[in-house]
Amino acid sequence: VAASSALTEPKVDGDGENGGVTLLLFYQYVDPPWDASDFKKALQDVEDLGLKHGLTGRMRVATEGLNCTLTGTREGVRRWCRDLRNYGERGEFRDTEFKLTDDLPKGQL
């Protein structure tokens, strides 16, 4: 089971330190895979977090985990990463390696 979500309505947290855009890339498997209930909750929760922090982009949410390419302000992206690290009772994303690129042109958001 998998679903893709496109975040297209940014709610900006601020302009970031340099007014640019931050790109976030990551994937993280969960072990054991989420059951149907956990999957449905994760799908809604990560989309809500993306909207809360003003992110746009693509999130692939599957029972096996997440694969995301997202953009937002420097602060918004980092807050989203922090919230994801603290997500869930199993700590699935505690050690996730987030790949960040800061200061992209604003048109990238």
Residue 39 domain flag: yes
Query: Structure pTM?
Result: 0.80
CATH of the domain at 57: 3.30.70.100
CA quadruple 3, 98, 51, 90: dihedral sign: positive
Residue 27 domain flag: yes
Residue 108 domain flag: no
Residue 92 domain flag: yes
Cβ-contact 71, 8 below 8 angstroms: no
Give the structural domain span for 41.
2-8+20-103
The pLDDT tens digits of the residues spanning 90-100 come to: 999 999 999 99
Residue 63 domain flag: yes
Q: What is the pLDDT of residue 9?
A: 39
Residue 58 pairs in a beta bridge with 6, 69
Residue 15 domain flag: no
The pLDDT tens digits of the residues spanning 16-29 come to: 445 689 999 999 99
The pLDDT tens digits of the residues spanning 33-91 come to: 999 999 999 999 999 999 999 999 999 999 999 999 999 999 999 999 999 999 988 99
Query: Does an H or E element contain 75, and which?
Result: helix 74-85
